[in-house]
Amino acid sequence: MRRSGGSGVLAGISALSAAAVLATAVPAHAGTGSGGAPAERAATVVEHATGVADLVPGTAPAPDAAAKAVTGTAAGQVTVTAPAEAGGLVELSAADGSRVRLGLPEAEGVAGVATGSGTVVYPGAGGEDVDLAVQPTTDGGARALVTLKDRSAARVHRFDLDLPEGSQLAPDGTGGYLIVREEGPGATAVLGAIDAPWAKDARGKAVRTAYRLEGDGLVQTVSPDAGTVFPVVADPKVSLGWSIYLRFGKAEVKKLAGTSVYHFAAVATVMACAKIPNAVAAAGCGAALTAQMASLRSQMQDAAKANQCVEWKVSYVGVITGWKRYKC
């Protein structure tokens, strides 16, 4: 399996006592499969930290999966598969054929137990003091969660990644990563993202955490302090969806800035939309240009005056969802 490093996924939780957490947590309604009471406790702790509003319940367990959930994004449907056992791979697959898979850290062969809300838990899969969990989310993503049950739990956890062919990770400036692939001169496809990491203790207080890339994996370090109340839940989140960033150099900016308002959309369609490798997005790009022509032309004029470059963000279905000027 080809793996690329970097990403955040998983969480840990700490608490004064299991009873204290259960008294205030959201009920998990875990199944009675091979997890029993430990599974219900593990799910309750995780869902207390994350909530359940953005979760997607999965289908019934199958031989190769504890649950599968289909979510919707602007790029179409994304299917999230939680492995039947913690030693398997969490998989996100999109309608365009792209796929991201990740391995849970230090995972033992513990069977997954699904809750009615959508959380799949693997009690004790990271050792006696570490529970693991997976949550499909409504935005085409999946959270991989690590629960640190007490102070003796490991603080460093590695997630192996298998990224779409030809893609790599690029820092997003917030502590997370974008999954990117160069699509040609001036066009970069953003296939997905790994959100900046977070961790919470039993009271909901933030716990310091960070990622680093190490070989073919993303490593998350959780750093409780003297005031941290266990269990602690930590979470890297991976999402899959298609965006393309179209970049215009200074010469292109000046050409577009000098185009009359009546011809701007036609010229920009040739210069910009022709760069998009996806036929659906390329077709939609022209319509989006026409609808946003005045704003985009004004931006080009401002960038030309400031001697700057311009970047447009185009979704998988061709909608221009963002644009900015930048120094180049």
pLDDT, greater one: 320 or 83: 83
Contact 79, 72 (CB under 8 A): no
Q: Which range has the worst mean pLDDT, 23-37, 45-59, 93-107?
A: 23-37
Asked if residue 190 lies in contact with residue 245, where contact means CB atoms within 8 angstroms, the answer is yes
pLDDT-above-90 percentage for the chain: 56
What are the structure tokens assigned to 28, written together? 């998990």
Question: Across all residues in the chain, what is the average pLDDT?
Answer: 84
DSSP reduced 3-state for 322: strand
Would you say residue 7 has pLDDT above 70?
A: no
pLDDT of residue 75: 58
Among the ranges given (86-90, 160-164, 241-245, 311-315), the one the predictor scored with the smallest mean pLDDT:
241-245
Higher-confidence residue of 13 and 218: namely 218
Q: Binning pLDDT at 50, 70 and 90, where does residue 287 land?
A: confident
Region 77-99: what's the mean pLDDT? 92
Instruction: Tell me the average pLDDT across 83-87.
Output: 95
Q: How far apart are CA 211 and CA 176, in angstroms?
A: 8
Residue 11: pLDDT above 70? Answer: no
Compute the average pLDDT of residues 157-185: 90
In the chain the first and final C-alpha atoms are separated, in Å, by 38
pLDDT number for residue 253: 95
Give yes or no for residue 15 having a pLDDT over 90.
no
Query: Among 53-57, 61-65, 142-146, 154-158, which stretch is predicted with the lowest mean pLDDT?
Result: 61-65
The conformation of residue 300, written as its DSSP 8-state character, comes to H
**pLDDT value of residue 261:** 85
Distances (CA, A) of 137 to 29, 140, 298: 18, 6, 37
Q: Which two tokens stand for residue 45?
A: 């702790």
> What is the pTM (predicted TM-score) of this model?
0.73
Q: Which residues contact 114 (CB under 8 A, 6 or more apart)?
A: 30, 31, 57, 58, 61, 66, 67, 82, 120
* Nearest by Cα to 212 from 135, 157, 166: 157
38: pLDDT confidence band, cut at 50, 70 and 90?
A: very high
pLDDT value, residue 262:
84
Among 13-22, 165-174, 242-251, whose mean pLDDT is lowest? 13-22
pLDDT for residue 92 is more than 50: yes
In this structure, the dihedral spanned by the alpha carbons of residues 282, 286, 287 and 292, taken in order and rounded to 10 degrees, is 120
What's the pLDDT at 8? Answer: 35
Res 169: pLDDT = 94
pLDDT of residue 280: 73
- What pLDDT is attached to residue 291? 86
Is the bond leading into 231 cis (omega within 30 degrees of zero)? yes
**Torsion over CA: 185, 94, 197, 155 (sign):** negative
- How far is residue 193 CA from its own chain's centroid? 4
Is 191 in contact with 170 (CB distance < 8 Å)?
no
pLDDT at 12 over 90: no
Q: Is the dihedral of CA 159, 162, 164, 167 positive or negative?
A: positive
Distance, CA of 193 to CA of 246 (rounded, Å): 18
Residue 146 contacts residue 11 (beta carbons within 8 Å): yes
The pLDDT-based confidence of 25 (bands split at 50, 70, 90) is very low
Average pLDDT of the residues in 96-117: 91
Closest CA relative to residue 192, chosen from 182, 177, 171, 173: 177
Q: State residue 3's pLDDT score.
A: 36
20: pLDDT strictly greater than 50: no
Q: Phi and psi at residue 34, in whole multiples of 5°?
A: -70, 0
| Higher local confidence (pLDDT), 128 or 23 | 128
pLDDT band at 40 (very low <50, low <70, confident <90, very high): very high
Mean pLDDT of 129-156: 96
Give the pLDDT confidence score for residue 307 in this predicted structure.
Answer: 96
